[in-house]
Copies of this chain bind each other. A is one copy, B any other.
Amino acid sequence: MGKKNKQFVEKITAMEDDFAQWYTDVVKQADLVDYGAVRGTMVIKPHGYAIWENIQAELDRKFKETGHSNVYFPLFIPESMLQKEKDHIEGFAPEVAWVTHGGEEELAERICVRPTSEVLFGEYYAKNIHSYRDLPMLYNQWSNVVRWEKTTRPFLRTSEFLWQEGHTCHATADDAQEETARMLEVYKDVAENYLAIPMLSGKKTEKEKFAGAEYTLTIEALMHDGKALQSGTSHYFGTGFAEAFDIRYLDKEGDQQPVHQTSWGLSTRIMGALIMVHGDNRGLVIPPRIAPTQVMIVPVAQHKEGVLDKAYDLRDQLKNLIRVGIDPSDKMPGWKFNEYEMKGIPVRIEMGPKDIEKEQVVLVRRDTGEKEFVGLDKLELRLPELLEEIQQGLYDKALTHRNEKTTTATDMDEFKKILEETPGFIKAMWCGDTECEEKIKEETAATSRCIPFEQETVSDKCVCCGKEAKELVYWAKAY
Identify the A interface with B (CB < 8 A). Answer: 1, 3-6, 34, 36-38, 41-46, 49-50, 52-53, 69-78, 81, 93-104, 110-111, 113, 120, 123-124, 127-128, 130-131, 133, 139, 143-144, 146, 148, 159-160, 162, 248, 250, 256, 329
- Nearest chain B CB to A18's CB is how many angstroms away? 24
Instruction: From the candidates B36, B74, B77, name the one contacting A120 in the complex (CB within 8 A).
Output: B36
Instruction: From the candidates B38, B46, B144, B248, name the one contacting A143 in the complex (CB within 8 A).
Output: B144
Q: Is the Cβ of A45 less than 8 Å from the Cβ of B74?
A: no
Q: Is the Cβ of A74 less than 8 Å from the Cβ of B256?
A: no
- Nearest chain B CB to A438's CB is how many angstroms away? 23
Which residues of B sit under 8 angstroms from A101, Cβ to Cβ? 97-98, 100, 110
Instruction: From the candidates B69, B75, B77, name the one contacting A50 in the complex (CB within 8 A).
Output: B69
In the complex, what distance in Å separates the CA atom of A52 from the CA atom of B1?
Answer: 45
Which residues of B sit under 8 angstroms from A128, Cβ to Cβ? 34
Which residues of B sit under 8 angstroms from A45, Cβ to Cβ? 71
Total copies of this chain within the assembly:
2
23 of the cross-chain contacts (CB-CB < 8 Å) are: A1-B250, A3-B250, A4-B130, A34-B128, A37-B76, A37-B123, A41-B76, A42-B74, A43-B73, A43-B74, A43-B124, A44-B71, A44-B72, A53-B70, A72-B162, A74-B160, A75-B75, A75-B113, A75-B160, A95-B102, A98-B102, A99-B99, A133-B329
In the complex, what distance in Å separates the CA atom of A310 from the CA atom of B100?
Answer: 58
Which residues of B sit under 8 angstroms from A148, Cβ to Cβ? 102-103
In the complex, what distance in Å separates the CA atom of A113 from the CA atom of B113?
Answer: 10
- Nearest chain B CB to A378's CB is how many angstroms away? 31
In the complex, what distance in Å separates the CA atom of A75 from the CA atom of B46?
Answer: 17
Which residues of B sit under 8 angstroms from A159, Cβ to Cβ? 76, 102
Which residues of B sit under 8 angstroms from A99, Cβ to Cβ? 97-100, 113
Which residues of B sit under 8 angstroms from A74, Cβ to Cβ? 36-38, 41-43, 160
20 further A-B contacts with Cβ under 8 Å, apart from A44-B72, A76-B97, A113-B113, are: A1-B250, A4-B130, A5-B131, A36-B76, A37-B77, A38-B76, A38-B78, A43-B71, A43-B72, A50-B70, A75-B75, A76-B146, A76-B159, A97-B111, A98-B99, A98-B100, A99-B113, A103-B148, A133-B329, A144-B144
Which residues of B sit under 8 angstroms from A41, Cβ to Cβ? 74-76
Most B CB within 10 A of own CB, among A52, A75, A94, A143:
A75
Q: Is the Cβ of A37 less than 8 Å from the Cβ of B75?
A: no
Which 10 pairs from chain A and chain B are nearest by CB?
A46-B69, A41-B74, A102-B148, A36-B74, A38-B76, A44-B72, A98-B101, A100-B100, A94-B103, A103-B148
Across the interface, name the chain B residue whose C-beta is closest to A72. Answer: B44
Across the interface, name the chain B residue whose C-beta is closest to A104. Answer: B94
- Nearest chain B CB to A331's CB is how many angstroms away? 9
Which residues of B sit under 8 angstroms from A97, Cβ to Cβ? 76, 99, 101-102, 111
In the complex, what distance in Å separates the CA atom of A46 from the CA atom of B111?
Answer: 25
- Nearest chain B CB to A244's CB is how many angstroms away? 15
In the complex, what distance in Å separates the CA atom of A306 from the CA atom of B145?
Answer: 49
- Nearest chain B CB to A296's CB is how many angstroms away? 16
Across the interface, name the chain B residue whose C-beta is closest to A77. Answer: B37
Instruction: From the candidates B49, B73, B133, B256, name the one contacting A69 in the complex (CB within 8 A).
Output: B49
Question: Given A43-B73, A99-B97, A103-B148, A111–B49 Cβ distance below 8 Å?
Answer: no
Which residues of B sit under 8 angstroms from A143, Cβ to Cβ? 144
Q: Is the Cβ of B3 less than 8 Å from the Cβ of A81?
A: no
Q: Is the Cβ of B71 less than 8 Å from the Cβ of A139?
A: no
- Nearest chain B CB to A334's CB is how many angstroms away? 17
Which residues of B sit under 8 angstroms from A73, Cβ to Cβ? 36, 43-44
Q: Is the Cβ of A37 less than 8 Å from the Cβ of B103?
A: no
Q: Is the Cβ of B37 less than 8 Å from the Cβ of A78?
A: yes
